C-alpha cells in the first residue's frame, strides 16, 4: 500500500489546530478591593493566562491561522511584522510551535525582558529607532517585504482584519458569556486598536445598549508601551473612529499609581497598559450610578522591571 503523503501545509494546519486549545478562554477577575462603588462592578480579563502571556495571542494566532489556511505561509516562509513586543512574543511562541521562522522589527528601546524572551524563542530581531516608535518598525517591515517578497509573509497587524476579528469571535463572546449578558460598558486602550474594535463590534451586536469607551494616552510621549496617541501617530488601518461612544485620555503617572494601589489592595502586579485600562474603567465608574464594566488586562508586570523600579522605588 502506498503511503499517503502529507503536504507541509496540511501538517501546519494540524499543528495550528492543536495550538488553538491554548488561545483565549481567559478568566474574568472582579475588582473588589482596589476600587468600590455601590451599584457598580468592574471586571478585567486576565489576558496573560494564555500562550505568549498576553492579549496579543488572540490576533497573532488568528493571523497565523488564516495565512496558513490561505497558503500564504508554507515551508520556508518567514512571518514578518512590526511590534512593540507583546505581539512579537505571541508570534514567536506560535512560530516556534509551528516550526515557522519569525522576523520582527521592533523599537530599540523595547524592554530588556521582551528582547530576552524574543531571543529565547528564536525570533530574528531587527531594531528600529526608539524615536519613531512602532511607526518606524512598520516602515522597516514594509521595506523588507518589498525587497524580499518571496521570503516574507508580511502580517501587518495594524492593517490586518484578522487582528480585530480575533476579538470579535473570541474576546467579546467570552465577556458576554462570563458576565451572563450583564455587561453594560466595555473599556479598552488603543494600540493596534484590534482589541477595542473587534470586541466592541461584536458586543454591539449582542446588545446594542452596551457603552463602548476607548482610551489613549493624554500625551504623545507616554509610558504605556503598545498604546498609541492617535493624534500624533500613524492611525492603524483597522481602526474605526465611529465605534466609541466616548474617548478618554489617561495620564501615565495616573496609571503608575494604579499599579501601586492594585498590588497593595489586590495582590497582583499590573503592567502599565493593564493599569491604564483600570484607570479608564474607574473613570467610567465615577460617571455612572450602576452598571457592569469590563476591561482587559493585556499582560502582567513580568516584562516591566524598569517601570516597577520607578513605581515602587
Domain limits, the chain: 8-50+166-312, 57-154
Cβ atoms of residues 100 and 73 within 8 Å: yes
Domain 8-50+166-312 listed as CATH 3.40.50.1100: yes
For residues 193 and 84, give the distance between their C-alpha atoms in angstroms, rounded to a whole number.
Answer: 14
Q: Which set of grid coordinates corresponds to residue 14?
A: 494540524
What is the pLDDT at residue 8?
53
Q: Please tell me the predicted confidence (pLDDT) of residue 133.
A: 82
pLDDT at position 110: 85
Instruction: List average pLDDT for each run of 10 residues in the chain, which is 313 residues long.
Output: 49 89 97 98 98 96 95 90 92 95 93 91 95 90 95 96 98 98 98 97 98 95 85 92 97 96 97 97 98 97 90 89
Domain 57-154 has CATH 3.40.50.1100: yes
For β-strands 40-46 and 28-30, DSSP reports them as antiparallel
8-50+166-312 shares its CATH topology with 57-154: yes
Whether the predicted model's global pTM rises above the 0.85 cut: yes
The string of DSSP letters for 148-207 reads -TTTEEE--TTT-HHHHHHIIIIIHHHHHHHTTT---EEEEE-SSSHHHHHHHHHHHHH-
C-alpha cell at 190: 488603543
Q: How far apart are CA 120 and CA 75, in angstroms?
A: 22
> What is the spatial order of strands in the sheet that 102-107 belongs to?
124-128, 102-107, 78-82, 152-154
- Residue-level pLDDT at 185: 98
Distances from the Cα of 9 to the Cα of 76, 100, 129, 313, angstroms: 11, 11, 36, 51
Residues recorded for the chain: 313
Amino acid at each position: 500500500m502506498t503511503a499517503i503523503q502529507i503536504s507541509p501545509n496540511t501538517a501546519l494546519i494540524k499543528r495550528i489546530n492543536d495550538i488553538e486549545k491554548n488561545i483565549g478562554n481567559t478568566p474574568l477577575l472582579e475588582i473588589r478591593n482596589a476600587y468600590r462603588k455601590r451599584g457598580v462592578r468592574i471586571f478585567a480579563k486576565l489576558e496573560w493566562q494564555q500562550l505568549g502571556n498576553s492579549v496579543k495571542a488572540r490576533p497573532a494566532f488568528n493571523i497565523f491561522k488564516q495565512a496558513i489556511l490561505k497558503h500564504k505561509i508554507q515551508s520556508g516562509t518567514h512571518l514578518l511584522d512590526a511590534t512593540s513586543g507583546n505581539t512579537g512574543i505571541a508570534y514567536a511562541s506560535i512560530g516556534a510551535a509551528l516550526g515557522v521562522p519569525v522576523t520582527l522589527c521592533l523599537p530599540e528601546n523595547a524592554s530588556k525582558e521582551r528582547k530576552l524572551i524574543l531571543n529565547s524563542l528564536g525570533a530574528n530581531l531587527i531594531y528600529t529607532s526608539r524615536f519613531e516608535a512602532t511607526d518606524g518598525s512598520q516602515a522597516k517591515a514594509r521595506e523588507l517585504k518589498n525587497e524580499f517578497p518571496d521570503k516574507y509573509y508580511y502580517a501587518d497587524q495594524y492593517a490586518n482584519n484578522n487582528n480585530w476579528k480575533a476579538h470579535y469571535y473570541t474576546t467579546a463572546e467570552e465577556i458576554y458569556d462570563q458576565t451572563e449578558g450583564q455587561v453594560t460598558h466595555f473599556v479598552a486602550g488603543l494600540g493596534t486598536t484590534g482589541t477595542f474594535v473587534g470586541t466592541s463590534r461584536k458586543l454591539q451586536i449582542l446588545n446594542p445598549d452596551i457603552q463602548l469607551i476607548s482610551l489613549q494616552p493624554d500625551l504623545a510621549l507616554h509610558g504605556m508601551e503598545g498604546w498609541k496617541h492617535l493624534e500624533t501617530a500613524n492611525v492603524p488601518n483597522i481602526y474605526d473612529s465611529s465605534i466609541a461612544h466616548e474617548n478618554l485620555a489617561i495620564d501615565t503617572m495616573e496609571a503608575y499609581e494604579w499599579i501601586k494601589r492594585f498590588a497593595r489592595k489586590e495582590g497582583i502586579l499590573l503592567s502599565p497598559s493593564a493599569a491604564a485600562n483600570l484607570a479608564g474603567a474607574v473613570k467610567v465608574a465615577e460617571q455612572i450610578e450602576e452598571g457592569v464594566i469590563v476591561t482587559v488586562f493585556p499582560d502582567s508586570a513580568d516584562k516591566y522591571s524598569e517601570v516597577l523600579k520607578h513605581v515602587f522605588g
